[in-house]
Chains A and B, each alone.
Chain A
C-alpha cells in the first residue's frame, strides 16, 4: 500500500511538471508525435501505441505476452532434481511518460520517467520437478519417470499492478522510425501457490508454506525492454 501511495504521489508530480513544461515551449517537435511500435524484453513481446498529451507528457499503452521456458537442475533434500520452469505472462499496460529534458539538444532529451499500471489477464508460473537420477530401492532401479512429478503452480492472475520505470524513448533513427529502451518494475500482489505431487512424490504438497514464503518477495516484476516505433500521422 505504501508503495502504491508513493507511486500516486510521483505520478501527480509528473503531471504537474509536464503541464508547466508544455506551456513554456510548444514548438519542440519531441514528443508530440504519435507512434505505434513493437517491443521485446523481460515481460515478453508485444505491440505498443504512443500518444502525446503535451510537450513533455505522453501516454503509452502496450499489450505484452511472455512465454518463458527453462530447465534447471538443483538439489533438494539430498535429491538431484530437474525442474522445467515455465511462465506465461500477458498484460495490457498504460503509463504516463514524462520527458523532463525534452528541450535539450543532446541524448538526454529522450530521457523519460514512467508511471502507470498493468492488468495481468494471465500471470502464471509452473515448475515441474522430477528426480534427475534413477532411484534405487534395494536392488530395484526405478526410472525417474515412474517416480512422478511435483508440479508447483504460482499465479498472480487478474492482478492490476502499479508500474514505475524510466528510460530513453523515441531515439530517432530517421524521421519515421525511433528506438527506445526502458527499465522499470511492476508491483504485483502476493501470488497464489499450489503444489501437487504424483506417484511417489505425493505428499510433497506439505511444502506449500515453504514455497509461499520464498515467493513473498516475488512482487516486483522487473521490466527491461527495447522498442521500435513508427510514426503515424
Chain B
C-alpha cells in the first residue's frame, strides 16, 4: 500500500513537471509575408499623350512567359487604371547569370499593336516602365497617319496607286508607298488573298520628335531580338532611326504580308539626323540601314542599305520591298550581351528616403531607352539591358519624378568598350520643399487587437490633387516596403495630394490629402483606424481577405 502511494506520488510529480512545459509556440501568430513575388514590373500603359489606357488587351509571350503572373499570382493580364503589374514566379527569380525575359503584347481596336520586351535582372526587384500605345484616332506629336481604300479587280490593282502621309502634327517629313498596276496581294504563305477592296494604313514617325518615337516598335530603340546583316541567329542591338514607318494592308480581315511585285517606299528622313557611321549630320549619298520589324515575332531583320537622296531640299530614302511591316531607316549598333551597371551617387540623398528617378539612355540625341527606378542610398544600382556600349556616344540622363534634371541635358557619357564596367553616375541635388516625409502604414485585421507585423509592399503613385474622375498625372512616389516609405517629393502641409496604391491586383485611391513630416495610419476596423470612405465595404472585404 505504501509502495503504491509512493508510485502514485511519483506519477503526480512527473505530471506536474510535464504540465509546466506547454507548447513554447502556443498562440504563435504565424504570418506569411505579402512580398510573395520577389521581382515585379509595373507597366504604365499610355497613349503617347499622357492618357492612361485600359481598354486594350495584354498577352505575355517570349522565353520566360511561363514564369510570369499578375501581381495577385494569376495568369490574367488585365490593364487596370492604365497599369499592368507583372511578377516572376518566386522559385524562378533572375540570377547573376540569367535574366528573365518576356514580351508583353498590347492590342486593341483603334490602337497599333505594340510588343514590349521586358528584361528583369537580378539587381532589379522593382521596375517601372511606360509603354506608349499609338491611338490611331489621336496620335501623339510627330506621328502622321493615312488610311485609304483601293478597288481591286480579279484580286489585283486596276491602276498604279500611291499612299502618302502629309506634314502636320509636328511631323516635318512624309512617307509614301507606290503600288503598280496588276499587283496582287499575298498572305504569309504566299497565297493570293481574294477580295475586291484593299484597305491601306501608313503610319509615319518623325524621328526628330521624342514623343513620336514612343511608338517605336518594342517601346525602345534597342532590342535583344535582331537578325543583323548576315546574321543567322538573333542578337542584341540598338537603332538610331532617321525615320520610321509602319505599313499595313488588309483585304477584308486578312493582313497582307507580301506582294506579287515589289512596291516602292519613299521615306522622308530627319534633316538633323546625326549619322553615327559618318560622325556627321546626314547628307546626300550617306548609306543608311533599313531594318524591318515583324510584330508577330517582335523581331527586327536587316533588309538592305539605302542611299540618302535630297528631294526638294529634304533627305529621303527610297527602296523597294516585297513585304509589309515596320521599317526603320538609320543606324544599327550591336549591343552588349550583359546589362550595363549604373551606380548613382549623390551626397544629397538622405538615408532611408526613396528616390523615384527616370533614367534615360541617350544615343545621338535620342532616347534609346527609358525606365523608372526607385533608388535609395543602400540600393543605388540600376541595370539597363541591351545598350550598345561597344560604341561611343551613349550617355545617361536622369530626372526626378517631378521633372528636375539631375545631370547635364546631354547626360553623362559612358566610355566606349565598357560593356562589363560599372559606371558611376553623379547626380546633382534637386530642390525639394520638405527634406523627408515618412509614410507608415499599419494593418489591423478585423477583430484583432494588435496590428499585423508582416506589412504590405506595394507601388505608390502621387499627384497634386485633381478631380477623382481624372486619372491622369500620377507619378511614381516609390515602392512602399513593409508599409514604410520616406520621400522628399511631398511638401508638408501646404500642398494637397492624391495617392494611388497598387497592392496585388487592387488599386486604392486616396484623394485630397495633406501630409505631415511623419504620417502613420492603421488600416483596420478598430476606433481610430482608417478603412476608407469611398468604398469602405470593398476595403473591408480586401482587408478580411488579406488577413485570412
Question: What residues of chain A have their CB less than 8 Å away from a CB belonging to chain B?
Answer: 74, 76-79, 81, 83, 125, 127, 129, 131, 135, 137-140, 142-143, 146-147, 150, 152, 154, 183, 185, 199-207, 210-211, 214-215, 217-220, 222, 224
Contact = CB atoms under 8 A, between A and B. Distances in A.
B87 to A, nearest CB: 9
Interface residues of B, number: 35
Contacts of B17: 185, 220, 222
B13 A183 contact: yes
A204 B28 CA distance: 9
Contact of A140 (B14, B23, B29, B69): B69
B97 interface: no
Nearest to B72: A138
Given A183-B13, A200-B36, A204-B453, A77 B25 contact: no
B28 A199 contact: no
B91 interface: yes
Contacts of A220: 17, 20
Given A183-B14, A207-B29, A142 B20 contact: no
B24 A127 contact: yes
Interface string B8-44: 0010011001101111111111111101100000000
B536 interface: no
Given A142-B36, A207-B29, A217 B69 contact: no
Contacts of A204: 28-31, 453-454
A137 B73 contact: yes
Contacts of B466: none
The CB with the most chain A CB atoms within 10 A, among B23, B30, B69, B72, is that of B30
A81 B453 CA distance: 19
A176 to B, nearest CB: 28
Interface in B490-548: 548
Contact of A201 (B13, B24, B32, B91): B32
B285 interface: no
Contacts of B454: 202-204
A206 B453 contact: yes
A67 to B, nearest CB: 18
A217 B22 contact: yes
A133 to B, nearest CB: 11
A211 B32 contact: no
B14 A222 contact: yes
7 contacts: A77-B31, A152-B25, A200-B33, A203-B482, A206-B29, A218-B20, A222-B14
Given A146-B91, A183-B13, A214 B69 contact: no
Contacts of A217: 20-22
Contact of A77 (B28, B33, B74): B28
> Which 5 pairs show the lowest CB-CB distances between chains A and B?
A138-B73, A206-B453, A222-B17, A200-B33, A203-B454
B25 A129 contact: yes
B453 A214 contact: no
Contacts of A215: 24
A105 to B, nearest CB: 16
A217 B455 CA distance: 32
B392 interface: no
Contacts of B18: 222
Given A137-B73, A142-B36, A202-B33, A214 B22 contact: yes
A167 B91 CA distance: 57
B89 interface: yes
Count chain A CB atoms within 10 A of each CB in B17, B25, B75, B548 and give the residue with the most: B25
B28 A210 contact: yes
A203 B28 contact: no
Contacts of B190: none
Contact of A81 (B20, B30, B31, B69): B30
Contacts of B28: 76-77, 129, 204, 207, 210-211
Nearest to A205: B453
B35 A214 contact: no
Contacts of B36: 137, 140, 142, 200
B316 to A, nearest CB: 52
A40 B507 CA distance: 63
B90 interface: yes
A131 B91 CA distance: 16
Contacts of B35: 200
A81 to B, nearest CB: 7
A203 B30 contact: no
Contacts of B91: 142-143, 146
A214 B25 contact: yes
Nearest to B21: A218
Interface string B62-73: 000000011011
A76 B26 CA distance: 8
B30 A211 contact: no
A186 B8 CA distance: 21
B30 A210 contact: no
Nearest to B88: A140
A199 B73 CA distance: 18
Contacts of B482: 203
Interface in B409-456: 453-455
A152 B23 CA distance: 12
Nearest to A165: B13
B23 A199 contact: no
B503 to A, nearest CB: 13
B128 to A, nearest CB: 21
Given A77-B29, A138-B72, A199-B33, 14 more contacts: A76-B29, A125-B24, A138-B69, A142-B90, A152-B25, A185-B17, A200-B33, A201-B30, A210-B28, A210-B29, A214-B24, A214-B26, A218-B20, A222-B17
Contacts of B33: 199-203
A205 to B, nearest CB: 8
Contacts of A222: 14, 17-18
Indicate the member of B17, B20, B24 with the most A CB atoms within 10 Å: B24
Interface in B107-161: none
A132 to B, nearest CB: 11
Contacts of A185: 17
Interface in B438-495: 453-455, 482
Contacts of A147: 32
A215 B25 CA distance: 9
A143 B91 CA distance: 8
A207 B35 CA distance: 19
A1 B489 CA distance: 58
